[in-house]
Amino acid sequence: MFVRTSWRRLAHRLRQSAVFVAFPLIACAQASSQTATASSGGGRPANVAAEPRLIVAITVDQMRYDYLERFAGQYQSGLARLIKGGAIYTNAYQDHANTETAPGHATILSGREPYRTGIVLNAIGVPDANAPLIGGGGPGASPFRFRGTALIDWMKAKDRRSRALSVSRKDRGAILPVGRAKESVFWYASNGNFTTSRYYSDTLPTWVKRFNARRIPQQYAGKAWEPLLPLSAYPEPDTVSVEDLGREPAFPHRLSADSAIAARDIIGFPWMDDLTVSFALDGVNAMRLGAGPAPDLLAVSLSTTDAVGHRFGMASRELHDQMLRLDRAIGTLIDSLYKLRDSSTIVISLTADHAVTLPPELAKAEPGAPPPMRVDLSDVAKEFRTAIAARGADSNAFDFEDAMLFVDKESLEKKGIKLDSLARAFADAAKREPGVYRADVFQTILKADTSDFIVRRWRHAVPPDYPVLVVVTLNHGSVWGSYATGIHGSPWDDDGHVPLVFYGPTIAPGRHAEFETVASLGPTLARLIGASPGEPVDGHVLTAAIR
Ligand SMILES: [Zn+2]
């Protein structure tokens, strides 16, 4: 989410590297033959509803599983419906160490962890200068780094006529759930318009232009965000000094009276989710999604929870209020879809791209454990860069951001720098710093026992051919940096434990406590329409969720 200068350089270098040459779509011939068998299996039992015509995959950006339980008594709309009638996996994880938005969204409908999707970090997720936005308002973006296939490809392998609409406030939240597919993919630009990039199209459809012409975001100028319910409904204190880094820790929070600034800043307010839902519904209408000859996919990623979680933290009154408003927004989405289409033909899933860690300032020390803290290894990295420059190498060939050390192997080796010794030296230096739990040479992670969940999540985080030398894990509860109140991105369960819910007439309601991963979401949705992944996946079909 915060692309720093050195990362832009690195992304540029990685772009040139053979590692990042776009993979062709894997042919789905195998999938077609499998699904032919599955769907010609002698008819369905009489009590099973018809095959869904519309799959609705909802992703909440930065939602912890425990938000489903913490506010359950106050949900009354969309989340209440999913909790009451859904198949809920209470112990489901984004099972990778890089718990950021891009890797999480790439996993959601691909069945695969980042080591297979190639989407490792936000900074080297979707940015693509060769794919500018139509009408501007943000950096170019495309899925050119995404490897392999996703649900919409598996659907199309079964029936070419299936279509997808994917929408989000964020480029990565809209792009990655549909992999490389050139479907209808739209996100929100800072000029107040929903748009897409030249990867997908050279023009915007009429319905998108019409939606933008209504200038809805600008109409929020000057509006104040106040708690939805009476204050007695919120047990959290409002003024907590760490919230919003002390700037505006208490309600109300007001959008600028300037309409252009309001259209830019609305991304931090609950109304952005309402706007995304309205936009998605306009698209469903205009595209006749779910009313076509083959099953369609609607992917909706709602991003305000991430903005509020970063600004105020997971324990804040603001986060509590955001969840109540998200419940209503999801309710509007589901109720409206049920008015537009036969509800017996719709299946819905809910998950998150990642969760979040409690701000260390608010954490209670665990007995015998080091106190959670904010960690910054940039000084350590700087010493190494200086030493590398002294050897005549380009200091930009060494790039440590947060948890991973990327290098330009060729340019270091040319100057006689041994990568093995560099990796060991940096890992040793990192381990000496306060807040660091472990620093692993990545090559040893590739050989280590994956029953250790930290090893497994790092193994899942990075393709073996990526130029990563060292991966650093902080103590439980510690976070990288001080740029925001709430921070995520670690291999700990705090950042990985997310909701995984299925809902609809072909879903068997119930609660399941066994360990599962979000990589199982795509294969399970595929099974509901008789499709299956066209390549090896990390997840599996959650048969207990299916009637
Ligand atoms: Zn975030």
Beta bridge partners of 130: none
Inter-CA distances, 510 with 78, 91, 184, 231, Å: 17, 13, 33, 33
What CA–CA distance (Å, rounded) separates 505 from 401?
A: 46
The answer to whether 143 touches 166, Cβ cutoff 8 Å, is no
CA-only gyration radius of the chain, Å: 23
Query: What does the pLDDT read at residue 465?
Result: 92
Q: Are 500 and 516 in contact (CB under 8 A)?
A: yes
Query: In angstroms, what is the span from residue 290 Cα to ligand 1's centroid?
Result: 31
Q: Which two tokens stand for residue 266?
A: 């609305």
How many whole angstroms separate alpha carbon 10 and alpha carbon 492? 26
Q: How remote is the CA of residue 311 from the centroid of ligand 1, in Å?
A: 10
How close is the Cα of 101 to the center of ligand 1, in Å?
A: 6
CA 198 to centroid of ligand 1, rounded, Å: 26
Cα 105 from Cα 502, distance rounded (Å): 17
CA of 506 to the centre of ligand 1 (A): 33
CA of 135 to the centre of ligand 1 (A): 26
Going 96 to 242 to 272 to 290, the CA torsion angle's sign is positive
* CA 289 to centroid of ligand 1, rounded, Å: 30
- Is 54 buried (19+), middle (13-18) or exposed (0-12) by CB count in 10 A? buried
The CA–CA distances, whole Å, from 312 to 122, 129, 268, 534 equal 21, 32, 11, 42
Strand 468-474, strand 164-168: pairing: unpaired
Ligand 1 mean position, distance from CA 302 (Å):
12
If we measure between CA atoms, which residue out of 384, 249, 419 comes closest to residue 319?
Answer: 249
Q: What is the dihedral of CA 244, 246, 252, 253, to 10 degrees?
A: -40
Q: Find the 410 Cα to ligand 1 centroid distance in Å.
A: 33
| 245 vs 247: CA distance, rounded Å | 6
- Nearest C-alpha neighbor of 400 from the set 100, 86, 123, 78: 123
Q: What's 197's DSSP letter?
A: B
Residue with tokens 């050279």: 202
Q: Calculate how far, in angstroms, residue 465's C-alpha sits from the geometric centre of ligand 1.
A: 26
- 481 alpha carbon – ligand 1 mean position (Å): 13
Q: pTM of this prediction?
A: 0.92
How many Å lie between the centroid of ligand 1 and the Cα of residue 75?
Answer: 23
Residue 112 C-alpha to ligand 1 middle, in angstroms? 21
In the reported structure, the alpha carbon of residue 517 is separated from the centroid of ligand 1 by a whole-number distance in angstroms of 20
Amino acid at 120: V
Q: Ligand 1 mean position to 183 CA, how many Å? A: 25
Q: Residue 473's closest CA among 422, 517, 435, 426?
A: 435
Distance 231 CA to ligand 1 centre (A): 27
Q: How, if at all, do strands 184-188 and 436-441 pair?
A: unpaired
Specify the 3-state DSSP secondary structure of 339. helix
DSSP at 71: T
So what's the pLDDT on residue 49?
A: 55
Helix (H, G, I), strand (E, B) or coil at 505: coil
- State the 10-residue block means of pLDDT for the chain, 547 residues long: 44 47 35 34 47 97 98 98 98 98 98 98 96 97 98 98 98 98 98 98 98 98 98 94 93 98 98 98 98 98 98 98 98 98 97 98 90 96 96 93 93 95 98 98 95 97 96 97 96 98 97 98 97 96 97
Distance from residue 401's CA to the centre of ligand 1 (Å): 16
Rounded to the nearest 10°, the torsion over CA 337, 179, 61, 508 is 50
